[in-house]
Amino acid sequence: MGSGVITLKKALIFSAIFDFLGAIVFGRFVSATLMKGIVDVTYLPAEAIIKGMIAALFATGLWVLLASILKIPMSISQAIVGGVIGFGLVTGGAGIVNWVTVSAIFTSWFILPLFSAALAATLYFIYRRMFKRLELINIIASSSTFLMVFSTVFLLMVKTLKLEDLAWVLMISSLSGSLAALATHLYWLRLGGSLEERASSVMKLLIIVAAAAMAFSHGANDVANSAGPLSAIYVAYTEGYVPAKVRIDPLILSFCAAGIAIGIVSWGQRVVDTIGQEITLLNPQRAFVSQLAGSLSVLVLTRLGMPVSTTMSIVGAVAGVGLARGLKAVNVRTLAKIFGAWALAVPAVMGMTAGLYYLFTALPL
């Protein structure tokens, strides 16, 4: 981790575990969008769906692998959306693509890093002076833990905007957040040593909790990048078509979540330094604010079913913390390289998907 609170190996394993949990709990919301929200696959023959979605997955994997080799924190969401659009264009033409949904997704990509950066900068200004007063660390830790747990439970449970439903969800979310805050406060009370030592221990705990929230958000959104297309392949193969209403199979979510966890442990270290140190220098306080802002931003848009990128969110949050300290604190060249790769992702993967689809069609499969 960029803050240096825990070792890289432990951070990757820790992230993999919470990525898996986030994928299982929240992954179904975005998977449905990628499965049939971008391209209306109900009008396509099963063979076209299977070959097209396989092409989209292969193209996305190749693009993200290249980005990882170059140590660029790539947005998988951008790549797979480009792949699904490319699949739709070559199988059914522009009319089969839901451009309203695509426009909403593109808009969310523009809003997310800006929102995350603004939230991170705001939280940094709020917490900066509080961090200097060690006696307030316990208040910061307890309130932040409440906020993270409350928002996660609320977004998971809320189904409608009816008053009676909201009242029930708010009660459960508040209770869950309060218990988490109480546990954090009790941890503070049980600590021994000087005020500085206690503050340091709680700060480490706070960063780990924020990292868990960030990893949970990543799994919640990014598992859909493979689960959505894979679900379409599975349903098309078993049913011969994709019906209007489809339930995302938990086994598919689990399979894709396991793949994400393995990828984090095996290749995650290649982009950790880019996010953790090359955009702006992170200390424990800045790392905490970045992860808190990034995770909250992603969870909100994930619950709305938007395939946004956790990478975009955390990059925006880290940049926001840096900008709060002045433009000189941010490595503009690194940000330009990252944004350039993001801009190329959709057209590049669209073209790769189209090429692979034609290749698969020509082969005697």
Report pLDDT digits (tens) over 244-274: 676 777 788 778 777 777 766 665 555 555 5
Are the beta carbons of 198 and 188 closer than 8 angstroms? yes
Selection from 2, 106, 92 nearest residue 347 by Cα? 106
Q: Identify residue 92 by its one-letter amino acid code.
A: G
What distance in Å separates the CA atoms of residue 81 and residue 64, rounded to the nearest whole number? 13
Per-residue pLDDT band for 59 (boundaries 50, 70, 90) equals: very high
Q: Looking at residue 3, what is its pLDDT?
A: 46
- Whether the per-residue pLDDT at 204 is higher than 60: the answer is yes
Report pLDDT digits (tens) over 64-86: 888 877 777 777 778 888 999 99
Q: Identify residue 325 by its one-letter amino acid code.
A: R
More confident residue, 75 or 321: 321
Q: Mean pLDDT score of the chain, rounded to an integer?
A: 78
Report pLDDT digits (tens) over 150-184: 877 776 666 555 666 678 888 888 998 899 899 88
Burial of 92 (0-12, 13-18, 19+ CB in 10 A): middle
Q: List beta partners, residue 39.
A: 97
What distance in Å separates the CA atoms of residue 155 and residue 218, rounded to the nearest whole number? 15
Q: Looking at residue 154, what is its pLDDT?
A: 78
Selection from 223, 214, 225, 261 nearest residue 345 by Cα? 225
Averaged pLDDT for residues 118-126: 87
- Whether the per-residue pLDDT at 128 is higher than 50: the answer is yes
More confident residue, 142 or 75: 142
More confident residue, 348 or 76: 348
What distance in Å separates the CA atoms of residue 57 and residue 59, rounded to the nearest whole number? 6
Residue 38 carries which DSSP code? S
Say what the pTM is. Answer: 0.76
The overall longest dimension of the chain from CA atoms, in Å, is 72
Tell me the CA end-to-end span of the chain in Å, nearest whole number.
Answer: 45
Give the other-Cβ count within 10 Å of 272's Cβ. Answer: 18
Report pLDDT digits (tens) over 78-114: 888 899 999 999 988 888 888 988 898 888 888 888 8
Residue 277 carries which DSSP code? I
Size of the chain, expressed as the number of residues it contains: 365
Averaged pLDDT for residues 202-215: 76
Q: Looking at residue 161, what is its pLDDT?
A: 55
Q: Identify residue 52 by its one-letter amino acid code.
A: G
- Whether the per-residue pLDDT at 350 is higher than 90: the answer is yes
Main-chain dihedrals φ then ψ at residue 97, nearest 5 degrees:
-85, 130
Owner of token pair 């396509």:
44
Q: Looking at residue 268, what is its pLDDT?
A: 56
Give the other-Cβ count within 10 Å of 276's Cβ. Answer: 21
Query: Mapping DSSP to helix (H, G, I), strand (E, B) and coil, where does residue 348 land?
Result: helix
What distance in Å separates the CA atoms of residue 149 and residue 145, rounded to the nearest whole number? 6
Per-residue pLDDT band for 351 (boundaries 50, 70, 90) equals: very high
Instruction: Among 22-31, 47-56, 103-112, 228-237, name the most confident range.
Output: 47-56
- Whether the per-residue pLDDT at 145 is higher than 80: the answer is yes
Q: Looking at residue 365, what is its pLDDT?
A: 55
Report pLDDT digits (tens) over 26-42: 666 566 666 667 887 77
Share of the chain above pLDDT 90, in %: 8
Least confident range from 55-69, 196-210, 294-308: namely 294-308
Residue 305 carries which DSSP code? T
Share of the chain above pLDDT 70, in %: 79
Q: Looking at residue 69, what is its pLDDT?
A: 79
Residue 118, C-beta contacts closer than 8 angstroms, at least 6 positions apart? 320
Q: Looking at residue 347, what is its pLDDT?
A: 93
Token digits for 135?
């006696």
Token digits for 262?
């393995």
